[in-house]
Structure 1
Amino acid sequence: MFIASFPAGPWQTNCYLVAPGDQGPCVVIDPGVGALGPVHDLVAEHGLEPRGVLLTHGHIDHLYSAVDVCAAYDVGCWIHPGDRARLTDPYEIAGAREVVEQELGHARDFSGREPAVVHEVADREPITLAGLAFEPLHAPGHTPGSTLYRIAPQEPETRSLVFTGDVVFAGSIGRVDLPGGDAATMRETLRTVVLELADDTVLLPGHGGQTTMSRERASNPYLSAQGLTSF
């Protein structure tokens, strides 16, 4: 399996390109602010062919370039229905428009600008795309539609991969004080979705470096018994 990533825009949001082999069909995950150019570069460098865009949730730093990437490669995007409205109204976070204007010199009007093809994700309903099988795990709390995308092991000796968006990071979790966030819902997600992941699962977050479930279970303060009741 091939995975490339880069931090996009002022929020340094990880955009991932995932392919079953070293070249050929791939999936783009969370193309954020200014992501189209780097996506083009990686596609050209590695001989990739985007077949779709997966969005872990509807915050602007994860979806800003989804329309551009979908149009450039004539592909659809996948998002949970709980966050679909944010595709055309992503500036709900205070100051987000101003940050984008400072970064790009302008702030796109998203009104009526969904990608041409939008697929709504259902919890644990498999998505087969670019030769890869993704299992969406609905994980609300950061936003109502936050979703993890799990790829099962491709070979007996490999491990599951989970793209976590802003649900869980190395040593932390996503904020619950932004629009759509809810602490009680996040606690339930951590208990029933995140902590149910196998210890050898590799976690690929929306910000920062990758980690493993065993590491987070042992050291992430928000996943401890005390942590699950303290925010």
Structure 2
Amino acid sequence: MLIAGFAAGAFQTNCYLVADGPGSEAVVIDPGQDAAPQVRAALAEYSLTPVAIFLTHGHLDHTWNAQELADEYSIPAYIHADDRPMLTDPGMGIGSALSSMIAGLEFREPEKVVEFVDGEDVEVAGVRWAVDHAPGHSRGSVLLTPDLPVDPETGRAVSVCFSGDVLFNGSIGRTDLPGGSHQQLLDSIAARLMPRDDDQVILPGHGPQTTIGAERTGNPFLVDLPDVKKKGRFGL
């Protein structure tokens, strides 16, 4: 499995490309501000064919180049319905303090938009993806968990979740923007992430990767959450 990532734009938003391997179809996750040139370079480097763009939520630092890339390659952009309005009106998600950075700019939806549905499995680029709605940072934040193949050498699959701005290494997403709720975010993390296995790798929207176990024991924002531990979807 190929997972390539880089940080782009003023907010250093993590953009990821996920594919079965070089020369195959790929999903682009969260192509934010200034991500397009690096996406094109990575596609060329690994001889990948993009087939979809996945957006973990609707904030502009994660969606800025989505329309450009989706329309360039004639592929759909996936986003939860609650955050879809931000594709055409990103100011509604960033608040008045940050709106000056987009003054005078016009935004539009990609030609093809597909709405994520909580609890669904999406088959894209030869991978089955679990979609879990996790509001709190934004109303339409989602967790994206690919069902990765088993490594023949170890006999097990590496467990990965693309968490957007729900959970970070040592922190959680901000909740002071329109549509945010600190308690709702904690509830989402408790219900959607804490039941997962400790070794699941979290690939967040900003900053370095982490694991569920590391955040369960070391994240200061999660100290009061119930320590729920049980099997979930895809055996997580």
Give the TM-score normalised by the residue count of structure 1. 0.91
Q: Is the 8 A contact 1:152 1:159 kept in 2?
A: no
Which residue does 1:38 correspond to in 2? Answer: 38
Counterpart of 2:139? Answer: 144
In 2, the alpha carbon distance for the partners of 1:37 and 1:59 equals 20
Separation (CA, whole Å) in 2 of partners of 1:98 and 1:221: 33
- Paired residue secondary structure (2:144): strand
Where structure 2 has 5 or more consecutive residues not aligned to the other structure, the ranges are 228-236
Question: 2 CA distance for matches of 1:146 and 1:196?
Answer: 18
Q: Quote the Cα distance in structure 2 between the aligned partners of 1:163 and 1:226.
A: 21
Matches within 5 A, 1:1-231: 1-92=1-92, 93=94, 94-99=96-101, 108-110=105-107, 113-155=108-150, 156-225=155-224
**How far apart, in 2, do the equivalents of 1:98 and 1:141 lie?**
24
Aligned residues: 221
Tell me, yes or no, if the aligned pair for 2:148 and 2:158 is still in contact at 8 Å.
Answer: yes
Do the aligned residues in 1 keep the contact of 2:133 with 2:143 (CA within 8 Å)? yes
CA distance in 2, matches of 1:28, 1:46: 13
- 2:53 is paired with a residue whose SS is strand
Deviation of 1:24 after TM superposition, in Å, equals 1.6
CA–CA distance in structure 2, aligned partners of residues 18 and 209 of structure 1: 17
Q: Report how far residue 177 of structure 1 moved.
A: 0.6
Q: Distance in 2 between matches of 1:18 and 1:226?
A: 31
Deviations 1:121-175 (A, max 9, x none): 1112011111111101110000010000001241042221100000000000000
Cα offset, 1:221, TM superposition: 1.1
Match of 1:82, SS? coil
Over 3 Å counting, the alpha-carbon distance change for 1:100 and 1:208 in structure 2 is farther
State the one-letter code of the partner of 1:180.
G
- Kindly indicate whether the alpha-carbon contact (under 8 Å) linking 2:143 and 2:163 is maintained by their aligned counterparts in 1: yes
CA distance in 2 between counterparts of 1:147 and 1:190 reads 11
Return the letter of the residue paired with 2:177. Answer: L
SS in 2 for 1:149: strand
* Structure 2 counterpart SS, 1:16: strand
Structure 2 contact 79–116 (Cα < 8 Å) conserved: yes
Stretches of structure 1 lacking an aligned partner (at least 5 in a row)? 102-106
CA shift in 2, pair 1:10/1:123, >3 Å? same
Shift of 1:227: 10
Is contact 1:134–1:150 with CA below 8 Å preserved after alignment?
Answer: yes
SS across alignment from 1:148: strand
Q: Distance in 2 between matches of 1:26 and 1:96?
A: 32
Q: Measure how far apart 1:100 and its partner are.
A: 5.5
User: SS of the residue aligned with 1:18?
Assistant: strand
Q: 1:3 to 1:226 in 2, by over 3 A?
A: closer
Q: 1:116 to 1:153 in 2, by over 3 A?
A: same
